[in-house]
Amino acid sequence: MSLPVPPPTGVFSSHKANCHCGAIRLSFKISPPLESYPVVRCNCSICQRNGYLFVYPDKDNVTFESNLDKESLGAYEFGNEVISHRFCKTCGSSVFFQFTPGGPPDVGDDKPKLPDVIGVNVRMITEVQPEELNINRIEYMRNFDLKYT
Coil, strand or helix at 47: helix
Under the banding of pLDDT at 50, 70 and 90, the label for residue 111 is very low
40 within some domain: yes
**β-strand pairing of 134-138 with 38-42:** parallel
User: Does 147 map to a domain?
Assistant: no
**CATH (domain of 103):** 2.170.150.70
Mean pLDDT of 99-112: 56
Asked if the structure places residue 1 within a domain, the reply is no
Higher pLDDT: 112 or 20? It is: 20
Output the pTM of the full model: 0.85
- Residues 16-72 pLDDT 10s: 999 999 999 999 999 999 999 999 998 888 888 999 999 999 999 999 999 888 899
Residue 97 domain flag = yes
Q: How many domains does the chain have?
A: 1
Measured CA to CA, the distance from residue 127 to residue 77 in angstroms comes to 29
As beta bridge partners, residue 25 has 18
Q: How many Cβ atoms from other residues are within 10 Å of residue 134's Cβ?
A: 11
